[in-house]
Structure 1
Amino acid sequence: MPAAANDNNPLYLSEASIAQRVLGAKSRTAWDALAIVWEREGLPRIDPMTGCRYWPAVRAFLDRRHGLHQTALPATVDGAENWS
């Protein structure tokens, strides 16, 4: 079940919090290395006003990276189904 829109979780998370959510036990050291590489691929950067990353955008980046969001629609219909 999706989380409620007002679930009281913070939207901006620290690097340590994101590392724990994304990598679990590997945590911060591995996240620091991955974040450098993934920022080149579109991972949202740390917001200068909050010092944190916007978690929904980080999650969307990871979902897209793993193919959970189709970004392009087929240009044409592939034809009628033939179930016989």
Structure 2
Amino acid sequence: MTDPLSKLPMFATDREIAIAIVGKERAAMFVKAVIPQFERKGFPKIDPLHDGRPVPLVRKFYDGYFGITAGFNVAVPDGEENLGAWKPKRESRNKRKPQLGLDGRSQKALLYMVAHPDARTHGAIPDAGMTTMNRLAEKGAVVAGKKDRDGDTEWKVTDIGVEEAKRIGFWHHGKSL
């Protein structure tokens, strides 16, 4: 089969190129709809001196379009959408996301406790009451210990709590603890 582009002059009009590629019946649609899309993807521009597109570059574009040439960066037809390709990235991101479902007050208390290990009672932790401490304990972020001399429960951050504090710090503040 003869290559229809080989019958064209070195510089051809859009209509000539369209007829060679899709035939006379569909040429007008090709010029109007397809060529503008292809131009955004590397289709050769009209050379103002020659008032046409360089046919050898049009051929090269199509070779790349059909995958005939390797390493020539041109448009390729859109393939099937593969939304699963994003899944590993999403899973990786979700591993860094806080996991315990703590509210803002509980997160703040946990971060404070990790940063200030000497703050062991709810009175020593800003904005933390017994409800906040019990919520942290329910999630496994802290454990209740003995009572201090004032009768307040001393709390200790667990390994789960330390890991959650790291995730919170990175997730909300972009930094590790």
Q: Same fold (TM over 0.5)?
A: yes
Residue of structure 2 in register with 1:40 after alignment: 40
Structure index of larger Rg: 2
Which stretch of the first structure deviates more once superposed, 57-66 or 20-29? 20-29
Gaps of 5+ in 1: 73-84
Gaps of 5+ in 2: 73-177
Aligned residues: 69
- Greater relative contact order (CA < 8 Å, ≥ 6 in sequence): 1
Q: 1:62 to 1:10 in 2, by over 3 A?
A: same
Deviations 1:52-78 (A, max 9, x none): 000010111011011011118xxxxxx
TM-score normalised by length of structure 2 = 0.35
Structure holding more helix per residue: 2
Instruction: Return the letter of the residue paired with 2:43.
Output: L
Report runs of 4+ in structure 1 exceeding 6 Å deviation: none
Conserved? CA contact 1:15–1:28, under 8 Å: no
Distance 1:8 1:67 in 2: 23
Conserved? CA contact 2:11–2:53, under 8 Å: yes
TM-score normalised by length of structure 1 = 0.69
CA RMSD of aligned residues (A): 2.5
